[in-house]
Structure 1
Amino acid sequence: MEHRITIHIVGGNSRSRAEQSRLILAMGHHAEVYSDLIELIDRPPQSGVILASDDLLENGVASLLDELADAGIWTPLVAAKIEPGVEEVVEAIQAGALDFLELPLSESEVRRMVAHVHSDAGRHAEARRRLIDARRRISMLSRREREVLDWLSEGCSNKAIARNLEISPRTVEIHRANMMDKLGANHAAEAVRLRLEAAFKERKGATGKKPEAPVGGAAKVREMVNPND
């Protein structure tokens, strides 16, 4: 028997929220409906999953997750939209969404999402906490300190970093020490781990390349990003 969960519905118009709620209740799960993000933050969920759609996604999933994190809400987020594009799904999952559903909801989509929640929600929430913490620490770095961290993550020595940035090794040492202090890292491996947890993908240092989005439908992309579904 499928385990029941609480699904917190927010975003979109009242008709859309009502339709989602009816389906979720008919499937034996519990639905909580919020008129907007302010109401959700006023009544922060402690369990289950947040199902966000339409207007809440206008500024991107990363921005929405930041707002939730600022409010101390770590409940896993599932985005939902009519005919989501491939890049939207990829960006949402990479930003920290647990899943991306297609509207209008179907029983099969809800079942798949519930299975995903039960298999990954706890690990996902903890990973998102680490991601937000790492991004906040890294955001305190100067441009040069970020560059040093980027090259350090490529396994470069201070001398190699100095050559790549066209500065002296002594200057690299100073930037590296400042970077480690701001990150609260005791050794280089810890600093690199924070960078990886922050999932920064806008590297312009060693490769100058950005990752390419997979080609295919939204459902196929979800399978690729979440292979255990």
Structure 2
Amino acid sequence: MEPRISIHVIGGNSRSRAEQSRMILAMGHHAEVYADLVELVDCPPRSGVIIASDDVLEDGIANLLEELADAGIWLPLVAAKADPSVEEVVAVIQAGALDFLRLPLEEDELLRMIRHVHSDAGRHAEARRRLIDARRRIGALSKREREVLDWLSEGCSNKAIARNLEISPRTVEIHRANMMGKLGARHAADAVRLRLEAGWDDYRPDDEAPQMPATRRAPY
């Protein structure tokens, strides 16, 4: 039997939460249920794993992870949904969830998830911390500073960035210095690393993020 863990079930209707709770308890683990995110944040869990479903996922996993981070909750997050598409599962995992479960919950799937938690939870929580931190830093950049960062990640020099953005090299230098300062980056490689940790190719803080060319040059 797997070591006992606490599983926090949030979202969905009362019947779904009750069914998940009964299965978790029957398998020898501890279950806590919450109707919504407000209930979870009011009594933040400090150990275990969170299973989130339905309405809690409506704003997307990335936003949910940020709300949990704001509340100081860094537990692994597992999304749950009836009949998810392959695209939905991939998007959720890329956004930072540890796993994806199909509802109604089945015992073998729950056991697989618990084993995943035991093997990867610590590494996953640290990766989440880095992801949230990187997204917050990059989210503080202006549109032009983000454009400079994107072109810098393509391996472009200041002169090449200036040509691509149709501004002067001196203006690029100013935006680059401001960008580096906001990111707390000492070198270009540090800035590029933060962009990668943020999952920048899949994550855009707003609709004005720059469009990059299809052909990429090697990054730093």
- TM, length-normalised to structure 1: 0.87
C-alpha deviation, 1:207, in angstroms: 2.4
- TM, length-normalised to structure 2: 0.91
Which whole-Å CA distance do the structure 1 matches of 2:87 and 2:64 have between them?
17
Kindly report which structure 2 residues correspond to 1:139-218, keeping only aligned pairs within 5 A, or say none: 139-201=139-201, 204-207=211-214
- Residue 36 of structure 2 corresponds to which residue in structure 1? 36
Report the RMSD for the aligned CA atoms in angstroms.
1.4
Could you say what secondary structure the match of 2:25 adopts?
A: helix
Among the aligned pairs, what percent are the same residue? 78
Q: Which digits, 9 at most, give the CA deviation of each residue in 1:122-165, with x for residues without a partner?
A: 11111111111111111111111101100111111111111211
Aligned residues: 209
Larger RCO: 1 or 2 (CA < 8 Å, sep 6+)? 1
Query: What runs of 5+ residues in structure 2 fail to find an aligned partner?
Result: 203-209
Question: Which is further off, 20-29 or 85-94?
Answer: 85-94
C-alpha deviation, 1:28, in angstroms: 1.1
Amino acid at match of 2:131: L
Amino acid at match of 2:140: M
Q: Which digits, 9 at most, give the CA deviation of each residue in 1:10-43, with x for residues without a partner?
A: 1111111110011111111111111221111011
Kindly report which structure 2 residues correspond to 1:61-80, keeping only aligned pairs within 5 A, or say none: 61-80=61-80
Amino acid at match of 1:167: I
Q: Which digits, 9 at most, give the CA deviation of each residue in 1:152-198, with x for residues without a partner?
A: 11111111111211222111111100100111111111111111111
Question: Which is further off, 198-207 or 184-193?
Answer: 198-207
C-alpha deviation, 1:96, in angstroms: 0.6
The 8 Å contact of residues 151 and 206 in structure 1, kept in 2 or not, is answered as no
The 8 Å contact of residues 6 and 32 in structure 1, kept in 2 or not, is answered as yes
Which whole-Å CA distance do the structure 1 matches of 2:147 and 2:37 have between them?
36
The 8 Å contact of residues 145 and 179 in structure 1, kept in 2 or not, is answered as yes
- Residue 81 of structure 2 corresponds to which residue in structure 1? 81
